[in-house]
Structure 1
Amino acid sequence: MNSDRTVLAAALAILGSICSVNLGAAVAKTLYAGIGVEGVVALRTGIAALLLLLLGRPWRVRLQAAQWGWVLLYGLTMGLMNLLIYWSFIFIPIGVAVAIEIVGPLAVVLAGTRALRDRLWAGLAVAGLALLVPWTDHAAALDWRGVVLALGAATCWALYIVFGKQVSRIGGRQVVALGLALACIVTVPLGIVRAGPLLLSVPVLAMGLLVALMSSCLPYLLEMFALGRLSPRLFGLIVSASPATAALSGYAVLGERLTLPQGIAVALMIAASAGAALTGRPAVSRPREDLS
């Protein structure tokens, strides 16, 4: 009984994590008009990095030169992934962008497999993408720039997983904190150029703190609690619901409504991700510091 309660608590923690991430993304989009995407991402990653540096204390880890290379790639990919997915939110609904972005880890899970069932999941993902790519009239409401940016974020997510496997051998929370700090090399200068002194105004800083807590720090703590208590497959199955929670967050905060084809596409992407999580080999999860 205690074991069942532990698994349930861990599952609820992961569900809370993905809801917090996507609700934070929707709140972040409300700041675009004032400080731009670059300013929002700079605040999110900068504040989250400071908080996680205090939590992770990465200065305790001694890295060799080769290890520094992997951590740098890990951090820079994290920063670029943040920028690309947040840029995509300008042009397409958050739920659609997250559904496209999930192609990245799905591709890693299915890479190299020849099993028929895994080809089925890949086929579902391709069908979902086909409904979202604006090459016919039914997808005219989608801006191709948002689709391309979300696909770029998906590519970064796949690379992030590859680099994450390397840095996971070095350390845990310390390396994640260090990677997020290195991500700021990409995000913070762009934010300063875009928003300048506005980043330091009290209302903007307060909203930036809220976004950082919702999209990075709280999900990170929830995942730290849950990861050791859930199997990789159950973890992946719950995380596959991310596009649905993103769509609900976009509707609740921003009033974003998906068309019927977009809703079907998101459902296909969720089914593909859930199926791959249940039957494929698990990929490294994405800590929510990236984070979309």
Structure 2
Amino acid sequence: MTSTQLPAPPAADPASRGAGVALMSGSALSNQTGAAIGSLAFDTITPAGVVAVRQWIAALVLLATTRPRWREFTRAQWRLVLALAGVFAVINLALYSAVDRIGLGLAVTLEFLGPLAVALAGSRRRIDLACALLAATGVAVLMRPEPTSDYLGMGLALLAAACWAGYILLNRALGRSLPGAQGTATACGLSGLVFVPIGIAVLLTHPPTGPALGFAITAGVLSSAVPFLCDALALRRVTAPLFAIVASLNPVLAATTGLLILDEHLDAAQWACIAAIVAANTTTILTRR
């Protein structure tokens, strides 16, 4: 999950735009690689344990880099922050639990329906309706009944998608209400506090090994710290539409890293569905003025 506060950058030369695209690509690859590595610790400390460690690292990074001025927050701003903290607490736990059940590629593809739904919501353009139909077809094929279908895992991925949509809407509201990323950082810090008792309970009942703890910490760095830094630098060099298009690569990168790191194999129909959902999002962005 990446930042959605996308200010229009100043005009940039091709070299600067190229650097921005490279940063965004590195961010997406780091995010999905971190998720794949984190899943290697599921058998030892469970998805909840991995999420707890990731949330703690994300909170430390965001709070240290933004230094929110909490005393200046209004009651209305705190309500938005608390709502976003709840989204943070649910989204990664839902996603990692889904990854544990249905694999990284399918979980991230279904989660990506969240931002796609926000992009299509309220539109009456024929091209957007066609994109929605294309994405819906891809989802229907992915969720078709089969003997091995894990509907709980799919449901968790769709819950993560709903949370991602909520994250986008809440982040927009906070971006208009608070300067910089103060609201996002504070929400992430509160979410990290929520996971303190959860993480302690999980780690006491599932004692971590050195490798498992290393996998979880690596997931926190690669899926939180690195993407945050790369996205912040990239947004100074590229436009918001270009940022969103490159972010569309996440399902493809998730499926690829799942194959290379976790040995998760997808069939041709599943790859086609991933391509359809990515194409729907890209088309929606490219055809907007």
Q: TM-score, normalised by structure 2?
A: 0.90
The residue type paired with residue 167 of structure 1 is L
Shift of 1:51: 2.5
RMSD: 2.0
8 Å CA contact retained: 1:103, 1:154: yes
Distance 1:92 1:112, change over 3 A: same
CA distance in structure 2 between the partners assigned to 1:223 and 1:61 by the alignment: 28
1:80 touches 1:186 (CA, 8 Å); kept in 2?
Answer: no
Choose from 76, 82, 85 the match for 1:75: 85
Q: In structure 2, give the amino acid aligned to 1:228.
A: R
Q: Deviation at 1:228?
A: 2.5
- Letter paired with 1:230: V
- Matched-pair contact (CA < 8 Å) for 2:40–2:215: no
Q: SS state of the match for residue 113, structure 1?
A: coil
What one-letter code is carried by the residue in structure 1 that aligns with 2:215?
Answer: M
Quote the residue 1:264 is aligned against: 272
**Structure 2 residue aligned with 1:176:** 184
1:187 positional shift: 3.2
1:44-76 Cα deviation digits (max 9, x unpaired): 011221222112212466201110010111121
Query: Which of 19, 42, 57 is matched with 2:52 structurally?
Result: 42
2:100 is aligned to 90
Q: Which moved more, 1:257-266 or 1:26-35?
A: 257-266
Secondary structure of the structure 2 residue equivalent to 1:33: helix
The one of 173, 177, 194 aligned to 1:166: 173
What does residue range 127-276 of structure 1 map to in structure 2 within 5 Å?
127-135=137-145, 137=146, 140-169=147-176, 170-196=178-204, 203-276=211-284
The 1-side partners of 2:71 and 2:99 are apart by 36
CA distance in 2, matches of 1:274, 1:90: 28
1:11-58 superposed Cα distances (whole Å, 9 cap, x missing partner): 110010010000000001000011001000000011221222112212
- Distance in structure 1 (CA, Å) of the matches to 2:29 and 2:13: 24
AA paired with 2:42?
Answer: Y
Which whole-Å CA distance do the structure 2 matches of 1:73 and 1:254 have between them? Answer: 34
2:13 alignment partner, SS class: helix
Residue 120 of structure 1 deviates from its aligned partner by: 1.0
> Which amino acid is 1:117 matched to?
I
DSSP 3-state at the match of 2:201:
helix
AA matched with 1:43: V
Q: 1:106 aligns with which of 113, 116, 119?
A: 116
| CA 1:273–1:205: 2 relative to 1, 3 Å | same
CA contact (8 A) 1:45 1:212 kept: yes
Aligned residue pairs, count = 278
Q: Which of 5, 21, 24 is the equivalent residue of 1:11?
A: 21
Partner of 1:64: 74
Is the CA contact 1:102–1:273 (under 8 Å) kept in the aligned structure 2?
no
Identity of aligned residues (%): 35
Runs of 4+ in 1 over 6 A off after TM superposition: none
1:26 corresponds to 2:36: yes
Deviation track 1:172-212 (CA, whole Å, cap 9, x = no partner) reads 23322211112224433322222227677655443332111
Contiguous gaps of at least 5 residues in structure 2: 1-10
* Unpaired segments ≥5 residues, structure 1: 282-292
2:134 corresponds to 1:124: yes
Residue equivalent to 2:3: none
TM-score by length of 1: 0.89
Cα distance in 2, alignment partners of residues 202 and 171 from structure 1: 40
Give the partner amino acid of 2:273: A
Distance in 1 of aligned mates of 2:24 and 2:71: 28
CA contact (8 A) 2:34 2:219 kept: yes
User: 2-side partners of 1:56 and 1:248: how far apart?
Assistant: 33
Equivalent residue number for residue 64 of structure 2: 54
